[in-house]
């Protein structure tokens, strides 16, 4: 009798270790990415850490790197798709694919930390060029973490939009052929996203921000007190109540040098400088958007204040266009007052509660309306006065104030004809007047410091010396128009064209405070300069968007004041107040 023994059960397979499971999970996750996309993303990662206009905090660098990485990934995937659609199929063996993945991983392991170190080094060079202390290299590993988070978030959003486009294709394909349906769906989704970002989101952000900004505008900065001098708006003698001027307006009318302070600097007798201002709260409409008619009403308030204070009897009358919430650069204003021995008047008004960055995004119409309405109102009153006795009419503005102020003029010749001088500071790149003048510069002059008709009436300068020492300049005539702009100011150089177009200022010799290694890289440079704007004013004066004590030198040239000792004394006085 034969006995059959049962086969013993096979022992259970040991469960994979945690490290093995983790490795397998990472490989499966990475397998969802296109290798060409990852290779191009790695290249964009390296580019994103290259020098830009200004040093950036590590977290902003992380954002710039994350956006650049996902942009590079998208470009790589698109290129691979185009190649495939052109009929170039690649049938790599499993071994070749595995070697390729390992090679990409090795390169990444070497390149990622290497460029973190290089990026930190480049940032320190930029910090030195603008007069800042070196940063901490230990912060830079955070760049990698932030960039990964940003890139993944953008990837999730991108894949979500792709699914929406596929869903739309499923609907459109019922009436159109599939290839055409895909094109239509992509266009529709793109338009919806653009409309949401440019329209709904910007308006909604502005609406919400306007409410909180109104509350901030009600406050008064520390140390600011209601002026007692009748030459100031907001005083008891003023037609404009103190509470109506807004936070920045109150700061403006309460500031500036007194006659005694001016005398201490210039050594001669001085008058109380006139500062008049009308606040946005003087209007009935406070929804954050103002049309030209409303700005005309506000401008009439300013002219009434000019008449009340006797401003049209002063030697100089300056029309200042403010930034979004009504800010006026105190150094620029005070420099004019010192140099004129107080025999001056400055007129300004507020057109919004929004800070400049939000006004830049949501409302570029109000600055133009305000700049034109205020100048036209003052000019109409000034132009009927006796040309022999009326004050010299000046205009100035910084940033959005420069953008709005230049909107009052049809062109540079109009500016020369209707004013006795202008100082435009840190002009945004999208300013039409600035762009036309810059593009018409004399052959051979640089975009960063253009020469216009040999500098006859219009000059661009980063430092006071540039007004007289640029190649191609001749003796200049009055009226004198000065554009003060720093090579490292991202407000001046930011443009959407940076995405795909190399600007002349990155073809030419770099400015003195820009790393010579900065170069134009498609997409990457756009995001670098975009994020440079966040803290553009938080650098030492003379760099970025920080325009401070050198204002006296520029006003002296505009006014034709050649007393170097006096001008230097004004510079020292402004510097001591910093």
pLDDT attached to residue 571: 93
> Which whole number is the average pLDDT over 31-43?
87
140 compared with 327, residue with greater pLDDT:
327
The confidence band for 339, taking pLDDT boundaries of 50, 70 and 90, is very high
Is 64 within 8 Å of 527 (Cβ atoms)? yes
Q: Give the distance from CA 277 to its chain's centroid.
A: 26
For helices 141-172 and 94-129, what crossing angle results, to 10°? Answer: 120
105 to 38, 80, 156, 414, 536: CA distances (angstroms): 10, 19, 23, 62, 37
Give the whole-number percent of the chain exceeding pLDDT 90: 63
Alpha carbon distance 152, 67 (integer Å)? 10
Backbone CA torsion sign across 450, 452, 453, 454: negative
**Nearest-CA neighbor of 346 among 366, 374, 370, 386?**
374
Is 80 within 8 Å of 37 (Cβ atoms)? yes
Of 259-263, 297-301, 353-357, the poorest mean pLDDT is in: 353-357
Residue with tokens 């090795």: 106
Measured between its terminal Cα atoms, the distance across the chain in Å is 111
Mention every residue, 6+ apart, whose C-beta is less than 8 A from residue 363: 206, 288, 289, 324, 352, 354
Alpha carbon distance 312, 302 (integer Å)? 12
| pLDDT of 89 over the 80 cut | no
The confidence band for 403, taking pLDDT boundaries of 50, 70 and 90, is very high
Q: Angle at the Cα of 441 (from 438 to 443), degrees rounded to 5?
A: 145
> Which whole number is the average pLDDT over 490-511?
93
Averaged pLDDT score across all residues of the chain: 88
Residues counted in the chain: 578
| pLDDT of 3 over the 60 cut | no
**Nearest-CA neighbor of 528 among 14, 206, 60, 23?**
60
Mention every residue, 6+ apart, whose C-beta is less than 8 A from residue 526: 496, 498, 499
Question: C-alpha dihedral over 414, 420, 424, 428, to 10 degrees?
Answer: -10
**Nearest-CA neighbor of 256 among 359, 187, 335?**
335
Alpha carbon distance 81, 511 (integer Å)? 41
| pLDDT of 53 over the 90 cut | yes
Peptide bond into 576 cis (omega under 30): no
285 to 234, 359, 369: CA distances (angstroms): 21, 17, 15
Question: Other CB atoms closer than 10 Å to residue 327's CB: what's the count?
Answer: 22
Is 542 within 8 Å of 135 (Cβ atoms)? no
Mind giving me the DSSP string for 169-200? HHHHTTTS-HHHHHHHHHHHHHHHHHHIIIII
**Nearest-CA neighbor of 346 among 270, 232, 482?**
232
Alpha carbon distance 34, 158 (integer Å)? 15
pLDDT attached to residue 1: 46
Tokens describing residue 470: 């640029």
Mention every residue, 6+ apart, whose C-beta is less than 8 A from residue 250: 220, 221, 224, 226, 234, 242
Of 2-16, 164-178, 497-511, 524-538, the poorest mean pLDDT is in: 2-16
For helices 330-339 and 259-266, what crossing angle results, to 10°? Answer: 70
> What element of type H or E holds 348?
strand 344-349
Of 49-63, 274-288, 408-422, 526-540, the poorest mean pLDDT is in: 274-288
Of 28-32, 123-127, 330-334, the poorest mean pLDDT is in: 28-32
| pLDDT of 274 over the 50 cut | yes
The confidence band for 109, taking pLDDT boundaries of 50, 70 and 90, is very high
Is 135 within 8 Å of 124 (Cβ atoms)? yes
pLDDT attached to residue 205: 59
Alpha carbon distance 227, 362 (integer Å)? 34
**Nearest-CA neighbor of 434 among 482, 362, 480, 498?**
482
The strands making up 316-321's β-sheet, listed across from edge to edge, are 274-278, 344-349, 316-321, 392-398, 421-425, 480-484, 458-461
CA atoms within 13 A on the CB side of 401: 26
Of 172-181, 410-419, 543-552, the poorest mean pLDDT is in: 172-181
**pLDDT tens digits, residue range 423-435?**
999 999 999 999 9
**Nearest-CA neighbor of 418 among 350, 452, 372, 476?**
372
pLDDT attached to residue 163: 83
Residue with tokens 């401070």: 548
Backbone CA torsion sign across 206, 209, 215, 216: negative
């Amino acid at each position: 009798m034969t006995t059959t023994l049962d086969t013993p059960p096979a022992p259970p397979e040991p469960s994979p270790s945690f490290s093995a499971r983790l490795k397998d999970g990472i490989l499966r996750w990475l397998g969802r990415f296109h290798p060409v996309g990852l290779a191009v993303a790695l290249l964009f990662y390296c580019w994103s850490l290259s020098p830009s206009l200004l040093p950036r905090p590590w977290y902003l660098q992380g954002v710039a790197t994350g956006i650049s990485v996902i942009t590079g990934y998208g470009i790589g995937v698109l290129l691979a798709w185009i190649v495939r659609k052109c009929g170039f199929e690649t049938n790599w063996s499993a071994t070749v694919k595995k070697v390729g993945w390992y090679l990409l991983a090795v390169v990444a392991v070497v390149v990622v930390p290497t460029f973190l170190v290089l990026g930190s080094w480049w940032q320190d060079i930029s910090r030195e060029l603008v007069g800042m202390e070196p940063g901490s290299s230990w912060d830079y590993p955070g760049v990698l973490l932030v960039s990964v988070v940003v890139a993944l978030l953008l990837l999730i959003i991108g894949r979500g939009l792709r699914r929406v486009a596929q869903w739309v294709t499923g609907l459109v394909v019922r009436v159109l052929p599939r290839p055409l349906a895909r094109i239509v769906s992509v266009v529709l989704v793109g338009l919806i996203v653009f409309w949401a970002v440019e329209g709904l989101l910007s308006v909604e952000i502005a609406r919400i921000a306007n409410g909180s900004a109104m509350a901030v505008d009600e406050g008064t900065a520390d140390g600011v007190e209601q002026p007692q001098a009748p030459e100031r708006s907001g005083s008891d003698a003023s037609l404009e109540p103190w509470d109506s001027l807004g936070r920045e307006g109150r700061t403006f009318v309460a500031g500036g040098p007194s006659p005694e302070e001016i005398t201490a600097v210039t050594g001669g007798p001085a008058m109380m400088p006139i500062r008049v201002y009308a606040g946005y709260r003087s209007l009935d409409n406070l929804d954050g958007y103002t049309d030209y008619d409303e700005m005309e009403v506000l401008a009439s308030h300013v002219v009434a204040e000019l008449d009340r204070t006797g401003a049209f009897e002063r030697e100089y009358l300056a029309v200042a266009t403010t930034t979004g919430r009504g800010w006026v650069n105190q150094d620029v204003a005070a420099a004019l007052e010192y140099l004129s021995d107080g025999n001056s008047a400055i007129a300004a008004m507020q057109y919004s509660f929004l800070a400049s960055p939000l006004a830049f995004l949501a409302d570029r119409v109000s600055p133009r309306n305000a700049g034109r309405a205020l100048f036209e109102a003052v000019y109409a009153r000034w132009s009927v006065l006796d040309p022999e006795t009326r004050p010299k009419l000046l205009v100035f503005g910084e940033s959005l104030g420069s953008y709005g102020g230049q909107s009052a003029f049809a062109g540079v010749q109009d500016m020369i004809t209707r004013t006795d001088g202008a100082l435009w500071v840190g002009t945004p790149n999208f300013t039409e007047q600035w762009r036309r003048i810059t593009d018409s510069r004399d052959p051979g002059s640089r975009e960063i410091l253009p020469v216009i008709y040999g500098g006859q009436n219009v000059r661009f300068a980063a430092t006071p010396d540039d007004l007289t020492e640029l190649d191609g300049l001749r003796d200049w005539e009055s009226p004198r128009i000065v554009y003060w702009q720093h090579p490292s100011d991202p407000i001046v150089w930011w443009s959407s064209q940076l995405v795909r177009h190399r600007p002349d200022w990155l073809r030419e010799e770099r400015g003195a405070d820009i790393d010579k290694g900065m170069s134009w890289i498609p997409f990457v440079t756009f995001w670098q300069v975009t994020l440079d704007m966040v803290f553009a004013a938080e650098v030492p004066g003379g760099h970025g968007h920080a325009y401070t004590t050198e204002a006296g030198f520029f006003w002296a040239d505009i006014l034709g004041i050649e007393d170097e000792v006096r001008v230097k004394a004004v510079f020292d006085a402004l510097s001591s107040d910093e």
